A and B are shown apart, each in its own frame.
Chain A
Amino acid sequence: MVIAALVSFGILLVAWILAPESPRTAAAAADAPLPEPQPLAA
């Protein structure tokens, strides 16, 4: 069982090396950020 646990983590390590660098489908653009609050006029 110890060997199986070590192997399973090794599989994840290999997967991280082989994992893609970018999304397979284009991600939706995030909404425009909210405007920063402005100080009240004196």
Chain B
Amino acid sequence: MPTIDTGDTAWILMSAALVMLMTPGLALFYGGLVRRKNVLSTIMHSFFILGLVSVTWVLWGYTLAFGPDTGLGIIGALDWLALEGVTGEPSDTYATTVPHLAFMAFQMMFAIITPALITGAFAERKRFKAFVLFAVAWSTLVYAPIAHWVWSPDGWLFGLGVLDFAGGTVVHLSSGIAALVAALFIGRRTGLVEPATEPHDVPMTVLGAALLWFGWFGFNAGSALGANGLAATAFVTTNTAAAMAAITWVTISWLHKGTPSVLGAAIGAVAGLVAITPAAGFVTPAASVLIGLGVGVVCYGAAQLRLRARIDDALDVFAVHGVGGAFGALATGVFATTAVNAAAFDGLLAGNAGQLLTQVIGVVTVAAYSAVATASILFVVNLVVPIRVPGQEEEQGLDLAQHGEVAYQV
């Protein structure tokens, strides 16, 4: 019979609160990157999702993602609809030392931030009504199944042995691929000044990145699901990879463009946090240095390629979260070691090349499903409500045109 551990419970509840703070942090991160006429609409995407997915997760999201399996490892059954049966007692399956409701709340914060990440791709041109429909559908039809595949003990990717400590595939790869599809579907912003529109408030973006970094300790160290040594490992690897990626990105942009970019430090840190997410509880601190270095180089290159390809993924969600998530998932297959986490598997460098192949299968299937499902959702939503605002509204700015408010009076 599972019993509640008060230390574990306190840590999980605290971690849930830390992860919650990441979504407003993301709002500031994205808000600073857009033009001043679109800052409120961009912030609203994340803030509205905080409310929207909090409700859908309680009503049906949690049971679809973590409910008892329907038999094929694809989706959870509706046993826990509206959290019926999910109580203050521990679950028999998940985080058995904390109340089931605490585990549910922790997972809810992941479900909230994932569709919010996608909003950076269609910033400055998406109709709010279409965004709401898209967010509900994507959270239900893309996030919940993928979470079930990877994190339910009956999920088919979990059964294959795919390692994803805190959401490299479930959160970042899925949303990064969706962002690329959304950017291609909705098209480029009109009147875009090449090479890209300048951010209107870099300090706002840096503040957002700092809040993301802070909240990520809950995201990754909280995913140990206990107040223990594994949480400490994840905490240290998370901070190390973020730090290494930040200074790597700055260095590359310095060599490339001649100045050490403040914005680059912020974006690089986020790339490092993304890449360490699937690996945080499986790798050593030394490995996290290499993961941070690698993702700094790879994501910087991806962002430059995105610019050359003239794909208007407005806030580089694909380059940072899609590429960074895939890189981290594959790096997990290289650097994972049972010396860090005896409950996991060794990776390539510990003599288990098969784990890297397993990670490749996880990356490819999650990316493919997210791409197809996202395109289908966008197509259907566009039939109901045009996804893109009219040209004159885009010119006017979405803050005024869609929300009737402006961010700044000066």
**A and B, one complex?**
yes
- B1 close to chain A: CB less than 8 A: no
Q: Judging by beta carbons under 8 Å apart, are B247 and A12 in contact?
A: yes
Residues 246-269 of B at the A interface (beta carbon under 8 Å)? 247-248, 251, 254-260
Binds A, one of B207-215, B282-290, B309-317: B282-290
Interface residues on B, range: 20 to 34
- A1 close to chain B: CB less than 8 A: yes
CB-CB under 8 A from A5, the residues of chain B are 286-287, 289-290
Q: Judging by beta carbons under 8 Å apart, are B293 and A1 in contact?
A: no
Q: Which of A1, A24, A34 contacts B286 (CB 8 A)?
A: A1
**Identity of the chain B residue whose Cβ is nearest the Cβ of A34 in the assembled complex:** B410
CB-CB under 8 A from A22, the residues of chain B are 258-259
- B349 close to chain A: CB less than 8 A: yes
Q: Judging by beta carbons under 8 Å apart, are B251 and A12 in contact?
A: yes
Give Cα distance in the complex from A4 to B284, angstroms.
13
- A15 close to chain B: CB less than 8 A: yes
Q: Judging by beta carbons under 8 Å apart, are A1 and B284 in contact?
A: yes
- A20 close to chain B: CB less than 8 A: yes
B212 to chain A, nearest CB (A): 23
CB-CB under 8 A from A1, the residues of chain B are 284, 286-287, 290, 335, 349
A8 to chain B, nearest CB (A): 5
Q: Judging by beta carbons under 8 Å apart, are B255 and A15 in contact?
A: yes
Given A12-B247, A12-B248, A15-B251, verify A23-B258 contact (CB < 8 Å). yes
- A2 close to chain B: CB less than 8 A: yes
- A38 close to chain B: CB less than 8 A: no
Given A12-B251, A15-B251, verify A4-B258 contact (CB < 8 Å). no
Given A1-B290, A4-B290, A5-B289, verify A24-B254 contact (CB < 8 Å). no
**Identity of the chain A residue whose Cβ is nearest the Cβ of B335 in the assembled complex:** A1
Residues 6-26 of A at the B interface (beta carbon under 8 Å)? 8-9, 12, 15-16, 18-20, 22-25
Give Cα distance in the complex from A11 to B283, angstroms.
22
Give Cα distance in the complex from A9 to B245, angstroms.
11
Q: Judging by beta carbons under 8 Å apart, are A23 and B257 in contact?
A: yes
A36 to chain B, nearest CB (A): 12
Q: Judging by beta carbons under 8 Å apart, are B284 and A19 in contact?
A: no
A31 to chain B, nearest CB (A): 11
Give Cα distance in the complex from A12 to B248, angstroms.
7
Give Cα distance in the complex from A23 to B284, angstroms.
37
**Identity of the chain B residue whose Cβ is nearest the Cβ of A35 in the assembled complex:** B410
Q: Judging by beta carbons under 8 Å apart, are A24 and B257 in contact?
A: yes
Residues 314-372 of B at the A interface (beta carbon under 8 Å)? 335, 349
CB-CB under 8 A from B260, the residues of chain A are 19
Given A22-B258, A25-B258, verify A16-B289 contact (CB < 8 Å). no
Q: Judging by beta carbons under 8 Å apart, are B255 and A20 in contact?
A: yes
Q: Per-residue CB proximity of B178-215 to A under 8 Å, as 1/0? A: 00000000000000000000000000000000000000
Q: Judging by beta carbons under 8 Å apart, are B289 and A8 in contact?
A: yes
Interface residues of A (CB under 8 A from B): 1-2, 4-5, 8-9, 12, 15-16, 18-20, 22-25, 27, 34
16 extra interface residue pairs, beta carbon distance < 8 Å, beyond A1-B290, A15-B255, A23-B259: A4-B290, A5-B286, A8-B289, A8-B290, A8-B293, A9-B289, A12-B248, A16-B254, A18-B255, A19-B255, A19-B260, A20-B258, A20-B259, A23-B258, A24-B257, A27-B259
Q: 24 A–B contact pairs at CB < 8 A? A: A1-B286, A1-B290, A1-B349, A4-B286, A5-B286, A5-B290, A8-B244, A8-B289, A8-B293, A12-B247, A12-B248, A12-B251, A15-B251, A15-B254, A19-B254, A19-B255, A19-B260, A20-B259, A23-B257, A23-B258, A23-B259, A24-B258, A25-B257, A27-B259
